[in-house]
C-alpha cells in the first residue's frame, strides 16, 4: 500500500474509493484501524469478544500522514503476529489463530489498496503470492482464476468470468 500510494499522496484523497461510500482518505484510515484492531485482538488474546477500542486519525491529517499511520499499524500487526505463540487464539467471528490475523491484515491492505488506487485513477494489480496467501487461508475452495482477480471477486469488488460480483462476503478466519 505504501509503495503504491505514497507517490500519489499529493492528490485529492477526498474522492471516493472505488466501489465504496468512503473517500480514499477514509479508506486508508479504515485499513490502519483494522490492522491495529487485529493486533489488539491477538496481543490481548481476547477469545470471546472484540476488545472495545478504536483508532482515530486526526481529521487534519494529510494523505501522507494517514499512510504513516497505516505503516505504523502494519508494523504493529507484523510484530504481534511474529511474536505470538502459534497456538494463540483470539476472536474474529470465532477463534482465530495468528496466521488468520496476518491473512486478514494482508487482505484488508490488498483490497483497499485496489479501492484507493482505482479511486485515484491508477491501474494496479495485487501481487499473486500475497493474494494466494489470503485466498488459501480466508477463502477455502476459491474458484480458478488469476489470484488478484479471484481476491477481488471474493471480496465483492468485481465479477469473475461469468460469475457476478458477490453482494455479500466474509473472511473465514476462524478455525
**pTM of the predicted model as reported, rounded to 2 decimal places:** 0.96
Which three cell numbers, joined as nine digits, stand for 154? 471474493
Bridge-partner residues for 96, per DSSP? 90
Tracing cell 507517490 back to the chain, one arrives at: 7
Q: What is the pLDDT of residues 58-82, one digit of tens each?
A: 999 999 999 999 999 999 999 999 9
Question: Which strand (E) or helix (H) includes residue 90?
Answer: strand 90-91
DSSP string, 96-165: E-HHHHHHHHHHHHHHHHHHHHHHTT------HHHHHHHHHHHSTTPPSS-HHHHHHHHTTSS-BTTBPP
Inter-axis angle of helices 63-83 and 24-43, nearest 10: 20
Which three cell numbers, joined as nine digits, stand for 128? 499473486
Size of the chain in residues: 175
Q: What is the pLDDT of residues 83-120, one digit of tens each?
A: 999 999 999 989 999 999 999 999 999 999 999 999 99
What are the residue ranges spanned by the domains of the chain?
2-8+16-154
Amino acid at each position: 500500500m505504501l509503495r503504491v500510494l505514497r507517490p500519489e499522496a499529493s492528490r485529492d484523497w477526498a474522492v471516493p474509493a472505488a466501489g465504496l461510500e468512503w473517500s480514499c482518505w477514509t479508506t486508508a484510515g479504515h485499513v490502519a484501524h483494522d490492522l491495529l484492531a487485529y493486533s489488539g485482538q491477538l496481543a490481548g488474546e481476547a477469545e470471546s469478544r472484540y476488545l472495545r477500542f478504536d483508532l482515530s486519525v486526526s481529521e487534519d491529517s494529510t494523505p501522507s500522514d494517514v499512510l504513516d499511520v497505516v505503516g505504523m499499524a502494519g508494523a504493529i500487526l507484523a510484530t504481534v503476529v511474529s511474536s505470538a505463540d502459534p497456538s494463540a487464539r483470539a476472536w474474529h467471528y470465532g477463534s482465530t489463530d495468528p496466521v488468520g490475523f496476518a491473512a486478514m491484515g494482508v487482505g484488508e491492505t490488498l483490497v483497499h489498496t485496489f479501492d484507493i488506487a482505482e479511486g485515484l485513477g491508477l491501474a494496479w494489480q495485487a501481487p499473486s503470492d500475497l493474494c494466494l496467501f489470503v485466498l488459501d487461508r480466508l477463502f477455502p475452495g476459491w474458484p480458478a482464476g488469476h489470484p488478484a482477480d479471484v481476491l477481488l471477486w471474493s471480496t465483492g469488488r468485481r465479477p469473475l468470468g461469468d460469475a457476478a460480483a458477490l453482494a455479500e462476503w466474509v473472511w473465514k478466519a476462524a478455525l
